[in-house]
Structure 1
Amino acid sequence: MRWTIKAKPEEEKIKELASALNVEDLVAQLLLQRGISTFEEAKLFFRPQLSDLHDPFLMKDMDIAVARIETAINEGENILVFGDYDVDGTTAVALMSSYLLSFYPNVATYIPDRYAEGYGVSYKGIDFAEDNNFSLIIALDCGVKAVDKVAYAKEKGVDFIICDHHRPGATLPDAIAILDPKRSDCTYPYDELCGCGVGFKLIQALGSRQGETIEDLIPYLDLVATAIGADIVPITGENRVLAYYGLKVINSDPRAGFKAIINQIKKTILTITDVVFVIAPRINAAGRMVHGQHAVNLLTETNQAQAEKFAGEIEKYNSDRRGLDQEITKEALTQIIENEEEEGFTSVVYKETWHKGVIGIVASRLTETYYRPTLVFTKSGDKLAASARSVKGFDVYNALEGCADYIEQFGGHKYAAGLTLLEEQYQNFKHQFEKVVSETIDPNLLIPEIAVDLRIEIKDITPKLMRIINQFEPFGPENMTPVFMAENIQDSGYAKGVGEEGKHLKFAVTQNGYGPIGGIGFSLGDKLPLLTGRKPFSAVFSIDENEWQGNVSLQLKLRDIK
């Protein structure tokens, strides 16, 4: 692991902010590293307000989108809410459809089949709209690159409103309105919304025309917070406000579907981490294993007993997904080992029988293991489909653009993308991808990095500090859990491996007479020899609260030791 200590802000600025907020210097330093340098900015950060959300009409085409929906309602048109099969897409469809249905009946939902239709807007979905007399499609979390498909819909008399957050291509689709803060001609103040977030801005705009306030829309924020966490967008600006209030809804008055999942996992208070690792995989499992419509049904159900039934079915899908994921990861790792001489800066693996629904998860697992840009391919109809994952600091989307000659279609983000290609182009693509990555990646990026916020001493780790750090939540990209480094610390003599075959490391450390403070290092059992004999060592960790038999104590959550 590479330990990278973040640059320390100017001492004068640290002192100034610490004085203005009446906090320790190290808290001021953590805030400055997050771009917070004034009392007002700190107030926005620690006390997010719904009034901090931007006017939705600042988004390009918002007025046109609202006018078209109002026309559809006034004229009794059928509206089809269309969205992708992942968490962002299904939560967005649940949000938009349930909002519209609260005052207008002619609304239905459509989630494309991952296997029969693939990602995004589909010809089959447009045909469905035409066959069932839908004259308006609201597409969420997809559509900004669907130029041909929107043109096909227009020929059939079907209008499109697109709510997306992906990077547009060179040409925009000929839709009635395209709401996408990443449009180059859109001056909306915040461009990191997820697809469900863009959908929320649309219902905020629609609601404002009916005299609704932002408080009236709070019940929809559990969906938005879940999408923000699952889609790994920065938890800054509007996303921080939406996630903060969405978590409150999840923990106080969640919709029936979330309540049913929470009842299964038997957890009382959920953090954004729980949303990402507990709720999101279950919602995702529907689209991976069967069909994304099952997730929408769960998220829009208002009868608790029915929601419990849906959640039970989805739990089964998630269990099946876990089994497949482990099996395919094992096969893919074997393939990499067997082709070690071919491997360079990338990992590209393929087996035609691998389940398309889990190749994204497998790509993430392989990236964790080998830490290089990774693609996992499987057969999809008469083509090959792949999920791409990257390492921190490397834009895999740009790398795929450099391989466009061999790709049928692709889309995604800096760190995660999907693509399809013809089977006969697989080897050509594989060689080109390796070439592009090897020529453009900084070799340092192939060594996992731990970004350390600041050095700390054991005496500084206090309940007061923990209380302040807890107020930094919700954590996520651009506001990660603070990571600290302590030097010249010693184990108190009781370090041991715990768990199966001593896989995890349990210890308690002291420093200059302060301590001991306990700690746990998951999957770091092999580091035990570095702690024995009371040898001094350095550690990188976050600070955590450990609850045991009703007692709460601080502990170090270890990331690495040297």
Structure 2
Amino acid sequence: AGFEADLGMSRLQAQLLYNRGIRSAEDAHTFMNPDSGLSHDPGLLPDIIPAVERLSDALDSGEMIGIFGDFDTDGITSTALLVRAFSGLGGRVLPYLPDRVEEGHGLNTDALRRLQESGVTLLVTVDCGSTATDEINFAAELGIDVIVTDHHTIHGAPPSPVALINPKTDRSQYPYTELTGVGIAFKLAQALYKKLGQDLPPDLMELVALGTIADVGPLTGENRYLVKEGIERINASANPGIRALARVSGYEMGTLDASSLSFGLIPRLNAAGRLGHSGISLDLLTSTDINRATAIASELEIQNSRRQTLTESGVAQADAQIRRQHPTELPSLIVVGHASWEPGILGLIAGRINDSYYRPAIAVQIGLEVSRASARSIPEFDIISAMETCAPLFTKYGGHARAAGFTIATEHMRELVARLREIADIDMKGTQLQPELAIDCDALPSEVEGPNFEFVQRLSPFGESNPTPVFAARGIRVLQARGVGAGKHLKMRLADAEKSWDAIAFRQGDRAGIARNHIDVAYSMEWNTWQGRTTLQMVVADIKPAGG
């Protein structure tokens, strides 16, 4: 009661803030009103001064500046941001995005040769490069200076480029270490424009929001400000690519939020790199022609539809394999594979299996000689640490505790699976492998609506480290329940003591038998627009029989 009184808020509002680490009225004000005061001086980043000096010289002398990115949305938006920033200063710019299958993540010597042949003498990496010692040395032999901008943790001795701009280096004085690749690129542009006495184009923050959300950057501190400001600018964007992408995704400008970016625009930007080359997504974000942007967005929509179809097919094949190979008891680590799976959807398949079975999961494209794989894990198992103990088996591998990838000689797959399962058996022995759903507080939907829901919206943007609030409604009455989307989802009409509500439970169509009489529901609330009518609906995360 004291905390509620200090804040001057309702019980529900105070609980939501407390759950997000807020302990004072001052902290609450900062969280609810993120502004430029959360943005730190780029001069505190390591090597920012030599980077800006070298870029300034390149702009003055008309050098060709290469930008080496990555094929995911963080890498694409980082590249687009620097293309627009350097071009806006009159720079000659050549972007380069590697092919997911042929090149993989990070710098490679073939790409460096091609860039040198194209006249590049200064190369800026985005979202990569912090461990590319050999490649940076090779670039120097070719006469290419390299500026690295990256946010990944550095293992071992760092390389020695012209500048290594990464807040996770030991030399960094930057107070916030959670910027994503596009956030670091933005800080470089900020520093460069400041040195040259120019105003930084504010629309660059649109790209920062897209990339930060896509890379699941924690929405705290500076990220929270950048994303909130970026989303506001996206909704009023003049960028032809963003407008065209919103249109094919089925969203109206002015209604976009972190969720619609995560589930609408970003999967379409990623689709190109999953099934082809990410260059067309870069073309979209840098296009100045609405007709060209519309054509590209339509192509991305086609690719995304194909991505969805291939993913659903792959997940169905994976489920069938699991039922066939493990009919009575699941192993500690699940491995599924097929020769026909596209490398770009392996992570999506592994993620779905990981979610469905709550086990570390590896999805493999099985080749005659070489196989490629993506892994997704649960909090109880550090997948990259397990893989490091098997390092000699891999051709190439990388990742972090919850997500990783590798290529491997197919003849080594059987040994790898045996060793990883042995490690998983030991590490998770005696652990009850069951997902947990964090509930913010008990609240009926009639309590959440109105001023409390207006407050919930002020907590946005939602994402990593600031999840959408989840409430528990106990003993709520089921008025209707039916499968929708070919039985994949569960559509319900639920009632508390005050009124009734539409409710949707995604990927829970098989639980219709539970949705009868009275149930306990874990849910969030959102606006839903259908046939021109906008209403509040419950988005159900879980259901169980009342009191069960």
- TM-score tier (shorter): over 0.9
Residue 336 (structure 2) pairs with residue 349 (structure 1): yes
Amino acid at match of 2:301: E
Q: Structure 2: which 5+ runs fail to align?
A: none
- Give, in whole Å, the separation in 2 of the partners of 1:350 and 1:178: 39
Distance 1:503 1:108, change over 3 A: closer
**How many angstroms does 1:255 deviate by?**
1.2
- Give, in whole Å, the separation in 2 of the partners of 1:227 and 1:289: 20
Superposition pairs for residues 130-209 of structure 1, below 5 Å? 130-209=116-195
8 Å Cα contact 1:64/1:177 also seen in 2:
yes
- Give, in whole Å, the separation in 2 of the partners of 1:486 and 1:294: 45
The corresponding residue for 2:40 is: 54
Which of 56, 65, 88 is equivalent to 1:70?
56
Superposition pairs for residues 36-435 of structure 1, below 5 Å? 36-213=22-199, 216-268=200-252, 269-340=255-326, 344-378=331-365, 383-392=370-379, 394-435=381-422
**How many angstroms does 1:380 deviate by?**
7.2
24-33 or 417-426, larger mean C-alpha shift: 417-426
Amino acid at match of 1:484: F
- Give, in whole Å, the separation in 1 of the partners of 2:501 and 2:84: 49
**2:479 aligned counterpart, secondary structure:** coil
- Give, in whole Å, the separation in 2 of the partners of 1:92 and 1:395: 28
- Give, in whole Å, the separation in 1 of the partners of 2:62 and 2:268: 36
8 Å Cα contact 1:372/1:390 also seen in 2:
yes
217-226 or 378-387, larger mean C-alpha shift: 378-387
**How many angstroms does 1:382 deviate by?**
5.7
**How many angstroms does 1:350 deviate by?**
3.0
Which of 503, 509, 515 is equivalent to 1:519?
503
Distance 1:167 1:379, change over 3 A: farther
8 Å Cα contact 1:204/1:217 also seen in 2:
no
Amino acid at match of 2:376: R
Cα shift readout 1:366-390 (whole Å, capped 9, x = no counterpart): 2122221111222579632211112
Distance 1:380 1:287, change over 3 A: farther
- Give, in whole Å, the separation in 1 of the partners of 2:277 and 2:532: 42
- Give, in whole Å, the separation in 1 of the partners of 2:307 and 2:527: 31
Distance 1:184 1:427, change over 3 A: farther
- Give, in whole Å, the separation in 2 of the partners of 1:375 and 1:289: 19
**1:298 aligned counterpart, secondary structure:** helix
**How many angstroms does 1:168 deviate by?**
1.3
Amino acid at match of 1:366: I
Give the total of aligned pairs: 540
Amino acid at match of 2:157: T
8 Å Cα contact 1:285/1:321 also seen in 2:
yes
The corresponding residue for 2:424 is: 437
**1:68 aligned counterpart, secondary structure:** helix
What RMSD over aligned residues (CA atoms) do the two structures have, in Å? 2.4
8 Å Cα contact 1:495/1:528 also seen in 2:
no
**2:164 aligned counterpart, secondary structure:** strand
Distance 1:549 1:157, change over 3 A: closer
Distance 1:528 1:334, change over 3 A: closer
Distance 1:556 1:410, change over 3 A: same
**1:348 aligned counterpart, secondary structure:** strand
8 Å Cα contact 1:391/1:445 also seen in 2:
no
**How many angstroms does 1:123 deviate by?**
1.3
Q: Which has the higher relative contact order, 1 or 2, with Cα contacts under 8 A spaced 6 or more apart?
A: 1
- Give, in whole Å, the separation in 1 of the partners of 2:104 and 2:352: 23
- Give, in whole Å, the separation in 1 of the partners of 2:273 and 2:39: 31
8 Å Cα contact 1:58/1:187 also seen in 2:
yes
- Give, in whole Å, the separation in 2 of the partners of 1:319 and 1:235: 29
Amino acid at match of 1:19: A
8 Å Cα contact 1:85/1:287 also seen in 2:
yes
101-110 or 514-523, larger mean C-alpha shift: 514-523
Cα shift readout 1:193-218 (whole Å, capped 9, x = no counterpart): 111111111111111112245xx332
Cα shift readout 1:296-321 (whole Å, capped 9, x = no counterpart): 11110111111112212222222222
Amino acid at match of 1:278: G
The corresponding residue for 1:481 is: 468
**1:542 aligned counterpart, secondary structure:** strand
Residue 479 (structure 2) pairs with residue 497 (structure 1): no
- Give, in whole Å, the separation in 1 of the partners of 2:449 and 2:138: 62
Quick one: percent identity of the two aligned structures? 32
**2:177 aligned counterpart, secondary structure:** coil
8 Å Cα contact 1:60/1:179 also seen in 2:
yes
8 Å Cα contact 1:356/1:380 also seen in 2:
no
**How many angstroms does 1:188 deviate by?**
1.7
**1:497 aligned counterpart, secondary structure:** strand
- Give, in whole Å, the separation in 2 of the partners of 1:382 and 1:431: 19
